[in-house]
Amino acid sequence: MRGLQAGRHLRRCVQHAFSPVSPQASPALEALFSCSHAAEPAGSAFSACSSATCEQRGAGSGGAAPPPLPWPTRHRSLHCTASTRQQSAAQPQASQQQADGGGEDGSDARGAAAAATLSGMAVKLSWGDPFLVSHAEDKEGPIAVYAEGRRKGHFRKDDRQELTMEKIQRLYEDCKAALGGEAAARKGRGLTLVDAEPAPSSSRGGWFSGLFGARQESTAAAAPAVQGLYMYGGVGVGKTMLMDLMAKHAPDYFKLERTHFHDFMLEVHQRLRHFASKPDPLTHVADEIVDGTRVLCLDEFFVTDVADAMILHRLFARLWDRGLTLVATSNRHPDALYEGGLQRNLFLPFINRLKEQCEVHDMDSRTDYRRLAHHQRGLYFVTPSREEDLYERFMELTNGKPVGPAYVEVAMGRQLEMPRTGGCVTLFTFDELCNRPLGAADYIALANAEHTLALSGVPVFTAANRQAAYRFVTLVDVLYEHRVRFLCAAEAMPFELFENIQTQAEARAAATGGGGSYSSGLSGGSVAVVDDNLGFAKDRTVSRLTEMQSEEYLRAHAKAHAPELLLALTGSKPSSSSSSGGGQRR
């Protein structure tokens, strides 16, 4: 009777714990418990699962079944991990050994065996994710890291990201097959020249030495070309994060280089100057890049500069001919790159070759993970007193250091003045940074010199300041890539700064809906701007401005530049103030 009573009690416990189980699963549970009850002898271990209090309740109610106990805490989670699967696979044998050993009356061992059986059943019920099931045995590559992150709750379930990881893993396996045979000859990564080639003569020493001989030998022994991957989609869908999973876990012999598109093109132009005296400088630049890099990961592939557009086709044609594999992220489909740009017909061959060399993958998703991570931190000021608030915050962050002008070296032998700098913080007006002929090289120099930048006087963008809007977009891209803390005093919230910027498709739809006519170029006099490049870039900029106010971004900034700030971030709480930017200050 005790065994039958305990069996009924256990049945109610499990029914209570698994109340959300679908009707299709109920017959399996019924069959399981029927078999358990039939096979369980009287006075079994299940009586040990019930406390003395429960037994007294059963006796006091005339033999009625005791009320169900809550599911044990250690078995409540249905989250499946690799270690849990291994434990589940070993449960039948372990359960038998425990049942045979037992304690004085064997009840403790049999109780543990019953708990293990139920825990294994809970794990099986959690195996409903097809992606995790199909990659349960993966032990290597970015997809194994992603799947483990999913099991631990680091990543949300996202069908588009899962499909993207399948493609990244395919690329990873192809690179292993093509480059794995060279592992013994390679000991470095990045731009270090590690190919097993004859040592260059001392008369041509230096980093750029031996280009002609090395180029001929490397070309003859080039690895088979591996089809790359071009991921495009909206802002905040995880393109950069997924690409970085491959970059961080690639073996050394991949010779993988991960960089931002702005940084990459800046380095190309610097090398072109170095080889200016050569008959074909671009060929020398391409050969030097591919001698040190076999897999090139470029974040935010976005072409707006005519000088970049004119050299990309020849540059990448040489890189691809030499066996380089390209992995890129972008907000735009290849066919929309450099749309409306000067002499775009000369850029079209690059687009065609790009689509041949890379699989073009759409990561379209309605989820912007940057917005999910948003926490107001008092970095963005829009109130009438925004300029005073920004300056006060700037002075606080200088930590009492004297404020004065400083200079930073910019690529190509120039200097940029930082008019108000104290400690690791610098303050500019919008006109000083965005209404002057500055570019990515200047902003990269700033990001490398100071880890916090404050910008005052950011206006709403119209046709009158379109060029300044382009520079602002580039500035935000560079600061974000370098994890620079960004303080800003603006006339409006981020999404309102660009409300006058439209793509041609948006302007056409607005004109059609309003019964008006549409014409490309500028519309609406001095206010509205119809510009595809700026129209596509605005979403990325708004998203990044939003993320740069988040606690997650500030933690990344602290880890990269100021680890002593991590403790303050851990102890701080998000401000409950309005979006005016008057958040808690450090």
pLDDT digits (tens, 9 = 90+) for 22-43: 444 444 434 433 443 333 333 3
Which of the four pLDDT bands, split at 50, 70 and 90, describes residue 172?
very high
Spatial separation of the C-alpha atoms in residues 256 and 192, rounded to whole Å: 11
Could you read off the pLDDT of 407-461 as tens digits, one per residue? 999 987 889 999 999 989 999 999 999 999 999 999 999 999 999 999 999 999 9
Best-predicted range by mean pLDDT (309-323, 377-391, 500-514, 556-570): 309-323
Q: What's the sign of the alpha-carbon dihedral 539, 541, 546, 547?
A: positive
Average pLDDT over residues 255-272: 94
Could you read off the pLDDT of 92-118 as tens digits, one per residue? 444 444 444 444 445 455 555 545 544
pLDDT at 458: 97
Could you read off the pLDDT of 155-168 as tens digits, one per residue? 778 888 999 999 99
Q: What is the DSSP string of 419-482?
A: EEEETTEEEEEHHHHHSSS--HHHHHHHHHH-SEEEEEEEPPP-GGGHHHHHHHHHHHHHHHHT
Spacing of C-alpha 5 from chain mean position:
54
pLDDT at 3: 56
Spacing of C-alpha 367 from chain mean position:
13
Spatial separation of the C-alpha atoms in residues 74 and 76, rounded to whole Å: 6
> Tokens for 154?
């680091």
Spatial separation of the C-alpha atoms in residues 122 and 116, rounded to whole Å: 10
Is pLDDT larger for residue 549 or for residue 213? 549
- Say if residue 191's pLDDT is above 60: no
Could you read off the pLDDT of 360-388 as tens digits, one per residue? 999 877 666 665 444 444 789 998 999 99
Which residue ranges make up each domain of the chain?
228-369, 377-510+526-569
pLDDT at 9: 57
Please give the sequence-ordered ranges of beta strands (E in DSSP) within 178-243, or none if there are none. Answer: 228-232
Average pLDDT over residues 341-345: 90
pLDDT at 548: 92
pLDDT at 92: 41
pLDDT at 453: 96
pLDDT at 446: 96
The residue assigned the tokens 């499909």 is: 163
Burial of 473 (0-12, 13-18, 19+ CB in 10 A): buried
CB proximity list for 449: less than 8 A, separation 6 or greater: 406, 408, 418, 426
CB 507 within 8 A of CB 518: yes
pLDDT at 514: 54
With CA atoms as reference, report the closest residue to 438 among 465, 477, 468, 412. Answer: 468
CB 139 within 8 A of CB 108: no
Intra-chain end-to-end CA distance of the chain, in Å: 67
Which of the four pLDDT bands, split at 50, 70 and 90, describes residue 569?
low
Task: Report whether CATH 3.40.50.300 matches the domain 228-369.
Answer: yes
pLDDT at 187: 41
Average pLDDT over residues 542-551: 90
CB 386 within 8 A of CB 493: no
pLDDT at 527: 75
Angle at 245 between CA 244 and CA 251, to 5 degrees: 100
